Amino acid sequence: MLLKGVQLLRGGLASPPKCYNFRLVCRSLSVQYGDVKTLTPAVREYVDKCVNLCQPDRVHICDGTAAESKLLQGLMLKQGTILPLPKYTNCWLARTNPADVARVESKTFISTERKEETVPVTPNATPGTLGNWISDADLKAAIAERFPGSMKGRTMYVIPFSMGPVGSPLSKIGIEITDSPYVVESMKIMTRAGTPVLDVLQQGDGQFVKCLHSVGTPASGVQAQASWPCDPERTIILHKPAENEIVSYGSGYGGNSLLGKKCFALRIGSTIAKREGWLAEHMLILGITDPKGVKKYITAAFPSACGKTNLAMLNPSLANYKVECVGDDIAWMKFDSQGLLRAINPENGFFGVAPGTSKETNPIAMSTVFKNTIFTNVASTSDGGVYWEGMESSLAPNVQITDWLGNPWTKESGKPAAHPNSRFCTPAAQCPIIDSAWEDPAGVPISAMLFGGRRPAGVPLIYEARDWTHGVFIGAAMRSEATAAAEHKGKVIMHDPFAMRPFFGYNFGDYVAHWLSMEKRGKVPKIFHVNWFRKSDQGKFMWPGYGENSRVLEWVLRRVNGESCYVDSAIGHIPAEGELNLAGMKEQVDVKQLFSLPKDFWTQEVEDIRNYFESQVGADLPASIYAELDKLKARIAEL
Ligand code: OXD
Ligand code: MN
């Protein structure tokens, strides 16, 4: 029987096939798995459009079950995409094509009618760094150059997924179409995927974000690595906010292919949030309970690979504090009817950077990831396990290591065993400190927000914004050392406003205005800036970080509770002398140095921020943010 050109082998048809208007020729092909009846007419229409464009050999409608995972794991083993890790339970190792190892920011585009809806108008034709715009005609041409027939010989998977708890009023639904079983299995970890999502679509307003992904085939027709098909030369990630649509070609890796994450939850998400009056942010969410049993929730925005996962799973060194994790990467936040800002983690798993994660730095992550996990580009061990830089102390004696490229590895090689952007993809529910409210459809109430980055010089451990506008300025002025999460090279200090630079779905100037407007919508939380990464003149970290960061969170809680444990400084409120609890610290900390504000540094910082704002955002940046910069300059002048 034909359904808009799709033949059904299993399952049945709800109603006789309808005819839709395709620009492309309908093809007859088999649905090898799943039930077409579960799709709404709009989803069917989208699937058919993609079938006709990509011309797969088969269609598989994902149900999200364990049986389906078994089937796909078997297939990936046969294709060599994953290797088993017998040391653990249901864990797998994927090795990508070495040319497909990170997000590709330079190949990521947003399409709007007018360019200035996507990116600020930069003066004097300065090249912009706050996103890439593409016209509708160029977007169509990019799709036409890459997608026709891109799934020939492959199966097209249809993944219904929910960002946020299934059925929550804060959640949104997506349909990802992909030709990668690795993407299917990763999406089943990172999102709530499968038939229950289709049930919600059937019963609700039927709205979904369209997400088309193909790993593609190089123009030469030859795959460099059959086990990891991709087309790095022609990789492109496209977003069309007006249509709630994402199209991604050529990469199977992380944020390029798991379209619920950066593409949907942040880029398209931020455009929906602007329209609907809420915030979609690159933020972890944690709950912290103080010794009196009072619990508060905090979000924190740090750029990729700057320790969001570690903070979200903090093991407090301060006695009788407890941290619980709601999410480690993305927060969707909306005011409730009482004017309280409530957050959900739209994700269902952690896609964490592996190197640096260890029993010492993040014992909670280490007790989360060794079951039901897909590891990508980590090294493997001869006893059937994994290895990465940082795991030295857990390495069993006499094991041999194979690096992320599949070659024998020893320390003496001088190269990392695991790729610096290697990842674990693991279910959040397995985290031993997952918060009891992490799936609360209403979200958790947010009391404080932290901004931060890797700042080796000049920036103190913590400071607090004087008010909301000052806090928004601090977010807009954020900078951090580049990491391996994207294609950037070297340890340059990059501007990364709100840790969102690669993820804005619309003009950054409008985004700042939207943040400013939140103050009128409800009770806004306090804003802080933290920096765990300041170094001494001798190049040593001045603060031990990790569990000791609980001391900083304690001060945040005291400020949230209205304690006057601060003094004003040129850049904001900092802990008054003796008010940051250092009792019992193993390491000596030079608090004076840690909070010092070198005049030369800050004079330069103000200039750098001004240059950045003027050259990158120009007149699109709200005047109140320029006014904050002027106030900062005046205070620095008085240092
Ligand atoms: C991520 C990133 O994968 O920010 O979370 O790059
Ligand atoms: Mn991230």
For 430-472, the pLDDT digits (tens) are 999 999 999 999 999 999 999 999 999 999 999 999 999 999 9
pLDDT of 488 reads 59
The band of 222, judged by pLDDT with boundaries at 50, 70 and 90, is very high
306 is an active site residue: yes
Cα of 23 to ligand 2 centre, how many Å? 37
Neighbours of 183 (CB within 10 A): 24
Atom of ligand 1 nearest to the CA of 303: 4
Helix (H) / strand (E) containing 631: helix 623-637
Model pLDDT for residues 594-636, shown as the tens digit of each residue: 999 999 999 999 999 999 999 999 999 999 999 999 999 999 9
More confident residue, 246 or 37: 246
Measured in Å, residue 303 CA sits from the centre of ligand 2 at: 7
Alpha-carbon distance 582 to 607, whole Å? 34
Best CA proximity match to 42, nearest among 91, 89, 85, 4: 4
∠373-268-486 over CA atoms, to 5°? 55
> What is the number of the ligand 1 atom nearest to the C-alpha of 304?
4
Does ligand 1 lie within 6 Å of residue 327's CB atom?
no
Residue 17 has pLDDT above 90, yes or no: no
Ligand 1 pocket test: which of 351, 419, 421 has the largest number of ligand atoms within 8 Å of its C-beta? 351
Instruction: Give pLDDT, residue 161.
Output: 98
3 state SS of 626: helix
Crossing angle of helices 623-637/599-612, nearest 10°?
160
The protein residue with its alpha carbon nearest to ligand 1, atom 2, reads 304
* Token pair in block for residue 178: 């992909």
Ligand 1 atom nearest the C-alpha of 485 is 6
Minimum CA distance residue for ligand 1 atom 4: 304
Listed residue (294, 467, 378, 427) closest to 96, CA to CA: 378
Question: CA-CA distance, 255 to 228, in Å (whole number)?
Answer: 16
260 lines ligand 1 (CB under 6 A): no
pLDDT of residue 485: 60
Q: Give residue 310 CA to ligand 2 midpoint distance, Å.
A: 13
* Residue bearing the CA closest to ligand 1, atom 1: 304
* pLDDT, average across residues 163-187: 96
Non-local (6+) Cβ contacts of 375 within 8 A are 85, 91, 92, 93, 94, 354, 369, 386, 422, 423, 424, 425
Cα separations in angstroms, 134 against 107, 109, 117, 129, 137: 11, 6, 11, 14, 8
* pLDDT average, residue stretch 580-601: 96
